Chain A
Amino acid sequence: MHTDFMHTDSMHTDFRTKIGVGDRTLARLTEEMKFLGISTRTVVIEDREITSRNEFIRLVVDLYVNRWWEGAVELLPISTEELEFISFCCSSECKSAWMGAVSAGAAPTLHRLIDDALRDYFCRQQAIARNLDTRLRYVEERLKAGDIQSVRKS
């Protein structure tokens, strides 16, 4: 269940949403945490050190929002008592644009944001895996055939 907090003044709006995802996303998230080994080591993604599940979610949401919102929505720094929440901040201008985009179906609502961001992340990772698997097989086959030039950049 999400509990959202929204504080607005004339200049900007703060959003706060509880970290919570649907069952299917949660299952994949658990798998991903295991895959990355986040509980046992520090993982570096996009030059940021990730040591917990919530930090990971914050990063994924941040990357996702920034991809379609170009820096207009800012993730607020995490505070220790707020580990269960993600806080955002954006200008009132940006907020109305966001709400407009939501009504037009072009942007996720705050409620859908975390789920959407994670699903987008999983899709991208799948695409990377497919692409690299093909590359790996190609390089493997070329090396086995003794063809070194095809794997080097000319």
Chain B
Amino acid sequence: MDRSNLLSPGEFDYLFRFWMDGSLDSIHSQGCALPGVRGLDRVASGFRPQTLLQQFTVAEVSAALLAIAQIDSRSAALLVIKHGYQVPIEDCARALACSASSAQGLLLMAQALLTRELHAH
């Protein structure tokens, strides 16, 4: 995998925060935006410049998650719970009945899956 494509944990949080919030859909689709931002419904458009995240649309993130859910639904759900609902990894670990470091490992794998899926299209 090309590591230059990896998103940082902060970027995942950012990506999911806006993706999660369905009430922003009209803003996403209008793209009331920073001047010069292209791709009207990019996840981050209109908020602050995050060039990496402006590569992806809400629909693309949704499609990537659904694709992951077909092969590994636990990973897809973990991404939503951790980054979308902003649940601390220790609490995720309790729900998964594993140690905090194992949960961190699962999350890293899930993030890699998502990144690969996002860049595949």
**Contact, CB under 8 Å: A143 / B65:** yes
Selected contact of B87 from candidates A35, A132, A141, CB within 8 Å? A132
Residues in A neighbouring B119, C-beta threshold 8 A = none
Residues in A neighbouring B97, C-beta threshold 8 A = 129, 133
- Taking residues whose C-beta sits less than 8 angstroms from the other chain, chain B's interface range is 20 to 34
**Contact, CB under 8 Å: A36 / B100:** yes
Q: Is the interface of B mostly helix, strand, loop or mixed?
A: helix
B99 at the interface (CB under 8 A from A): yes
B51 at the interface (CB under 8 A from A): no
Instruction: Compute the total of residue contacts between A and B using a CB distance below 8 Å.
Output: 82
- Taking residues whose C-beta sits less than 8 angstroms from the other chain, chain A's interface range is 20 to 34
Interface members, chain B 19-70 (any A CB < 8 Å): 19-23, 62, 65-66, 69-70
Binds B, one of A5-13, A66-74, A89-97, A145-153: A145-153
Selected contact of A36 from candidates B69, B80, B90, CB within 8 Å? B90
**Can you pick out 21 interface pairs between chain A and chain B where the beta carbons lie within 8 Å of each other?**
A35-B93, A40-B101, A128-B91, A128-B95, A129-B91, A132-B81, A132-B95, A133-B95, A135-B85, A136-B74, A136-B77, A136-B92, A137-B77, A139-B76, A140-B73, A141-B73, A143-B66, A148-B66, A151-B80, A151-B84, A152-B84
* With A129-B91, A152-B84 already in contact, 16 other A-B pairs whose C-beta atoms are closer than 8 Å: A34-B99, A35-B90, A35-B93, A35-B99, A37-B100, A43-B100, A45-B90, A132-B81, A132-B91, A136-B92, A137-B77, A140-B76, A143-B65, A151-B84, A152-B22, A153-B23
